[in-house]
Amino acid sequence: MVSVFNEQFLLLSRVPASLKKIACKVIAGERILPEEGILLYEEGELGFLAMLAEQVRVRLNANNVFFIRNFHIEPTNICVNKCRFCSYSHHFSPKKWDLTVEEMLETVRNQDENVREVHITGAVHPEKDIFYYEDLLRKIRSLRPDLHIKALSAVELEYIIKKARLSYEQGLKFLQAAGLDSIPGGGAEIFDEKIRQEICATKASSENWLEIHETAHRLGITSNATMLYGHIENYTHRIKHMTLLRNSQDRYGGFNAFIPLKFRNTNNELSAIHEVTVIEDMRNYAVARIFLDNIQHLKGYWPMIGKPYAQLSLSFGVDDMDGTINDTTRIYSLAGASEQNPRMTVSEMKTMILEAKRDPVERDSLYKVIDN
């Protein structure tokens, strides 16, 4: 039922009939169509979108905003791919690295015992194989049995599993036995093969990305999902991308969170493209929250857009701020993000959330609440 307040809001506001119809569906908890999602992008004013996104956020997550104590390991930036938007790989980055297993284990040893998750992802190194990563996972699990290991994007998995001549199911089971708990959402970019040919021609296809994640979900390995926006795509491409994710979630579940990733134009072949505005960032968060009705959590990844704008995103449907990170990621700092040494204490995280009039909730990797 649409509340009296919302009926009055819709009647009194200067909202076109087509958008008012969409608003009624959203407020009633009904799914919107892809063409309605495109209309929201094209015609929805920012305040209107925020109002609808907040309806969905509160329905799914009340007033909670989640965070986790985590850190990253980025094993290497030496990559077989040469994605034109990438500022991280050795093709464009002013820095080049290839960490040893011992260096990565030392990073694990240096973490506080209260840290709950390690996020391992990087480039697709031509000489690394599934057995290398299986060994790494086993050693991390031996060091920290309590640590949730979120590791290897679908792009990395596609390369090492095919190299081993295994099926996706066989490869994922092999890594799962070594300690893999979940997989990150990177490498999705935009699910449109024409665009992928222009910006990441050698990377795993949209179909392969989805197949790997769905295989993982069937095996009980959860994951996140991402979308790279603000480059050469348009609103139709974004809605197509989210439709494929929404359909996949209907089939198998398994996506914990959706993470919009903003294209940054420093140190890459697409540097002539102007970055989208913060208004567009917030519009994108809001439409994503409205459209992806079956993915419970929407993440504002603060190392990408900066702490102030991540805080602002909490008014546009976002309910997750990722984690403390402890200055362990370089992916967005190399691309020109304002957070050059991304780290946040638990106290800073809670303050940021409280200032936005939300309730900070510490979680584990599967969104189980941590009582402190």
Average pLDDT, the chain: 90
What is the C-alpha to C-alpha distance for residues 54 and 27, in angstroms, rounded to an integer? 10
Q: What is the pLDDT along the chain (372 residues), one digit of tens a residue?
A: 445 445 545 544 678 889 999 999 999 999 999 999 999 999 999 999 999 999 999 999 999 999 999 999 999 989 998 888 787 665 665 678 899 999 999 999 999 899 999 999 988 999 999 999 999 999 999 999 999 999 999 999 999 999 999 999 999 999 999 999 999 999 999 999 999 999 999 999 999 999 999 999 999 999 999 999 999 999 999 999 999 999 999 999 999 999 999 998 878 888 899 999 999 999 999 999 999 999 999 999 888 888 899 999 999 999 999 888 765 444 434 433 444 456 788 999 999 999 999 999 999 999 999 986
Q: Which two tokens stand for residue 83?
A: 């994605």
256 within 8 A of 319, measured Cβ to Cβ: no
Asked if 213 and 248 count as a contact pair (C-beta separation under 8 A), the reply is yes
Helix axes 168-178, 206-218, angle to 10 degrees: 50
Q: In 115-234, which residue ranges form alpha helices assigned H by DSSP?
A: 130-143, 154-163, 168-178, 193-199, 206-218
- The residue extents of the domains of the chain are 4-59, 63-362
The angle subtended at Cα 186 by Cα 227 and Cα 253, nearest 5°, is 75
Euclidean distance between CA atoms 251 and 354, whole angstroms: 36
Q: Are strands 255-262 and 222-229 parallel, antiparallel or unpaired?
A: parallel
Q: Say if CB 324 and CB 343 are below 8 A apart.
A: yes
- Render 331-358 in DSSP notation, one character per residue: TTTTTT-S-SS----HHHHHHHHHHTT-
Tens of pLDDT, residue by residue over 105-143, are: 999 999 989 999 999 998 899 999 999 999 999 999 999
The CATH number corresponding to 63-362 among 2.30.29.30, 3.40.50.10190, 3.20.20.70, 3.30.1540.20 equals 3.20.20.70
DSSP state for residue 67 in the 8-state scheme: E
**What are the φ/ψ torsions at residue 228 (nearest 5 degrees)?**
-85, 125
CB neighbours of 134 closer than 8 A, spacing ≥ 6? 174, 175, 178
Name beta bridge partners: 64.
359
Q: What is the pLDDT of residues 135-167, one digit of tens each?
A: 999 999 999 999 999 999 999 999 999 999 999
Which helix (H) or strand (E) segment holds residue 359: the answer is strand 359-362
Prediction pTM value: 0.92
Residues 42 and 176: their CA atoms lie apart, in Å, by: 43
**Helices in the chain by DSSP H: which ranges?**
4-12, 17-27, 34-43, 46-61, 101-109, 130-143, 154-163, 168-178, 193-199, 206-218, 235-252, 278-291, 302-305, 307-313, 346-355
